[in-house]
């Protein structure tokens, strides 16, 4: 079966992001960009399914500026077979992304789409669920384990109180949680090989999707800052202050 | 303008994050609530008592047990025409169900709101809370998840709303519940606790988390952990406080042996009072702590337990 893995280009998770002084957004100029960490986990899981003989082909899809091709190359170097880049300079929000992905799924006919559970830039945690809805597919979100058997995908999910296991009828959407796997580093030979793998280019109009944003960002502000408080010298002083000053115990 | 809030319940009644979602909905106008699943007698009675709720809808159907995304979203889509806003708490259930509802209605969801500005405009954290974005939706209907830590929950009692049983039709059978492994604990849930005490990599192993237990017992606290402690296998995943774990905002948060990575701070910096115990006085956690104790946790924790015991 084919597997599609959408990958998003985001500000690298090690970068300390700064709010722009005019409040229009987050400073991204000259900042290191990388694949969204949860999407790396998604690519890794797809590659493992291919290594197990469950998947036959892995297609990495990215959307946005032309540099998203680099994010696709990273996925190709990890083991994806080919890429699709949907080029757009619009602010692509989850609904638009889900519609674009649906159009690609309609063309490619995968049985599983594996996505990261959230992107670390907008923190929406929505695209996978939305794609499942548009396709009328089952969904296994926040997955920490998955197993394919015939037409059934068993997904262990991270939920608030622990773990929940669901059995899904394929085709399905999976979104990855942190502990599904540890993504591999691409080896140099694989990075070289990835350069030769094909990436198809298209535009939202080619897929017949209107990507007009539904949410307008009015402003982005700094979160309220906490001030460092005081150092206490002993446990006794700490307990005393918590009782008499903070009055929380 | 009327909102519908999807509630979650347990043996203790309506869960606290759901009551925070009701509080957020109350800022928008009239509030109806929905309880779904099986054996809903206690849950619907508890929902009817929530202050500010005008009506309780009850959807009793085996397909809705465990609030799996596919049937629960189908139910909400059927109810949506009567409402301007559909809300749920940003919990595993809310995050799973609400975007599915939104896409089925051709709407862009608004995830994890921290404030309501008006019927179309909301504030939500981005980049792990390093920015607060004010966003305005042009959609005709809003699908929202609510950051529980940002809204004081409505009380569990005080209201008296009428209860209406829904006729639930066929539900999509795409998914089946198999099993759940939920951690059994006498302690309060992390997201609802008044006090949270968390351990980090400095705890060194899972066994050492026992040093935290007498203190948690004494303070009625939930026990949490940093991602480093979870990744190292000291404690199970559901203990994790942080950007990708649970977001908590208790009255008192005690961080023990936690350095204070950005991703951890994102999950607890809205706590009212923060205490940090760490032997490294340069640890970033001290920059957000109201009270910092530079000490070896292996001496400080027993001392703290004894000090709390003494008085």
Q: Which residues of chain B have pLDDT under 50?
A: none
- CB of B192 closer than 8 Å to CB of B15: yes
B139 near A CB under 8 A: yes
Residues of chain B contacting A169 with CB distance shorter than 8 Å: 173-175
Residues of chain B contacting A128 with CB distance shorter than 8 Å: 99
Considering only residues 140 to 179 of chain B, which have any Cβ-Cβ distance to chain A shorter than 8 Å? 172-179
- Cis omega (within 30 of 0) on the bond before A171? yes
The pTM is what? 0.94
Residue whose token pair is 């609400």: B98
pLDDT, position A66? 97
Tell me the average pLDDT of chain A. Answer: 96
Q: What's the longest Cα–Cα distance across chain A?
A: 69
Quickly count helices (H) and strands (E) in chain A. Answer: 6, 13
Q: In what order do the strands lie in the sheet with B163-165?
A: B110-113, B142-146, B85-89, B2-6, B30-37, B53-60, B163-165
Question: Distance of alpha carbon A98 from its chain centroid, rounded?
Answer: 13
**How distant is the Cα of B97 from the closest Cα of chain A, in angstroms?**
8
pLDDT, position A30? 92
Closest-CA residue of A relative to B74 is A133
B110 near A CB under 8 A: yes
Please indicate whether, in this complex, the C-beta atoms of A120 and B127 are within 8 angstroms of each other.
yes
Residues of chain B contacting A139 with CB distance shorter than 8 Å: 69-70, 96, 100, 175
**How distant is the Cα of A217 from the closest Cα of chain B, in angstroms?**
4
Count other C-beta atoms under 10 Å from residue B115's C-beta: 15
Nearest Cβ partner of A230 from B112, B134, B291? B291
Determine the Cα–Cα distance for residues B22 and B86; give it in Å rounded to an integer.
11
pLDDT, position A14? 87
Determine the Cα–Cα distance for residues A86 and B217; give it in Å rounded to an integer.
54
pLDDT, position B234? 97
B188 near A CB under 8 A: no
Please indicate whether, in this complex, the C-beta atoms of A231 and B286 are within 8 angstroms of each other.
yes
pLDDT, position B172? 81
pLDDT, position B80? 98
pLDDT, position B190? 92
Query: Which residue, among A116, A106, A4, A20, has the nearest Cα to A60 in the 3D structure?
Result: A4
Angle between helices A235-244 and B297-310 (to 10 degrees): 50
For the four alpha carbons of B235, B236, B240 and B246, in that order, the dihedral sign comes to: negative
Residue whose token pair is 């809310």: B94
pLDDT, position B262? 86
Which residues is A169 bridged to in the sheet?
A152
Q: What is the full per-residue pLDDT of chain A (249 aa) written as tens digits? A: 999 999 999 999 889 899 999 999 999 999 999 999 999 999 999 999 999 999 999 999 999 999 999 999 999 999 999 999 999 999 999 999 999 999 999 999 999 999 999 999 999 999 999 999 999 999 999 999 999 999 999 999 999 889 999 999 999 999 999 989 999 999 999 999 999 999 999 999 999 999 999 999 999 999 888 888 999 999 999 999 999 999 999
pLDDT, position A133? 98
B65 near A CB under 8 A: no
B82 near A CB under 8 A: no
Residues of chain A contacting B139 with CB distance shorter than 8 Å: 214
Rounded to 5°, angle at Cα A106 from A100 and A111:
110
ipTM, 2 dp: 0.96
Determine the Cα–Cα distance for residues A200 and A63; give it in Å rounded to an integer.
12
Helix, coil or strand: residue A47: helix
């Amino acid at each position: 079966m084919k597997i599609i893995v959408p990958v998003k280009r985001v500000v690298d998770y090690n970068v300390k992001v700064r709010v722009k002084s005019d409040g229009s957004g987050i400073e991204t100029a000259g900042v290191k960009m990388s694949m969204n960490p949860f999407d790396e986990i998604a690519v890794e899981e797809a590659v493992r399914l291919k290594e197990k003989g469950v998947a036959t082909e892995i297609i990495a899809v990215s959307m946005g500026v032309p540099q998203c091709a680099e994010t696709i190359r990273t996925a190709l170097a990890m083991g994806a077979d080919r890429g699709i880049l949907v080029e757009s300079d619009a602010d692509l929000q989850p609904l638009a992304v889900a519609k674009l992905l649906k159009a690609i799924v309609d063309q490619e006919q995968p049985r599983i789409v594996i996505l990261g559970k959230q992107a670390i830039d907008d923190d929406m945690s929505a695209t996978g669920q939305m794609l499942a809805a548009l396709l009328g597919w089952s969904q296994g979100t926040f997955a920490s384990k998955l197993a394919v058997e015939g037409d059934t995908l068993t997904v262990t999910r991270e939920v608030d109180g622990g773990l929940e296991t669901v059995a899904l009828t394929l085709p399905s959407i999976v979104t990855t949680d942190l502990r599904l796997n540890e993504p591999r580093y691409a080896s140099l030979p694989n990075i070289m090989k990835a350069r030769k793998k094909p990436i198809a280019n298209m535009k939202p109009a080619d897929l017949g999707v209107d990507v007009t944003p539904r949410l307008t960002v009015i402003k982005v502000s700094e979160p309220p800052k906490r001030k460092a408080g005081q150092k206490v010298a002993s446990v006794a002083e700490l307990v005393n202050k918590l009782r008499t000053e903070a009055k929380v115990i | 303008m009327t909102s519908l809030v999807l509630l979650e319940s347990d043996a203790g009644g309506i869960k606290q994050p759901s009551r925070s979602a009701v509080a957020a909905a109350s800022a928008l106008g009239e509030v109806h609530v929905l309880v779904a699943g099986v054996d809903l007698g206690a849950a619907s009675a508890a929902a009817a008592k929530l202050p500010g709720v005008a009506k309780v809808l009850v959807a009793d159907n085996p397909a809705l047990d465990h609030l799996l995304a596919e049937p629960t979203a189908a139910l909400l889509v059927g109810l949506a025409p009567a409402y301007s806003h559909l809300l749920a708490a940003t919990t595993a259930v809310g995050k799973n169900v609400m975007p599915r509802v939104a896409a089925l209605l051709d709407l862009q969801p608004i995830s994890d709101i921290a404030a309501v500005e008006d019927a179309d405009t909301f504030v939500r954290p981005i980049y792990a809370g390093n920015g607060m974005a004010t966003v305005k939706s042009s959609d005709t209907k809003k699908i929202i998840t609510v950051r529980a830590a940002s809204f004081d929950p409505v009380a569990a009692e005080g209201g008296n709303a009428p209860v209406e049983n829904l006729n639930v039709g066929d539900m999509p059978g795409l998914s089946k519940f198999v099993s759940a492994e939920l951690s059994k604990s006498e302690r309060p849930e992390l997201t609802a606790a008044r006090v949270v005490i968390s351990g980090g990599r400095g705890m060194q192993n899972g066994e050492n988390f026992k040093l935290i237990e007498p203190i948690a017992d004494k303070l009625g606290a939930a026990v949490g952990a940093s991602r480093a402690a979870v990744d190292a296998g000291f404690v199970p995943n559901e203990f994790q406080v942080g950007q990708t774990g649970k977001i908590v905002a208790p009255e008192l948060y005690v961080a023990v042996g936690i350095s204070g990575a950005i991703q951890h701070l994102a999950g607890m910096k809205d706590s009212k009072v923060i205490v940090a115990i760490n032997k490294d006085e340069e640890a970033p956690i001290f920059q957000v702590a109201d009270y910092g104790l530079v000490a070896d946790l292996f001496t400080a924790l027993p001392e703290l337990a004894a000090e709390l015991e003494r008085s």
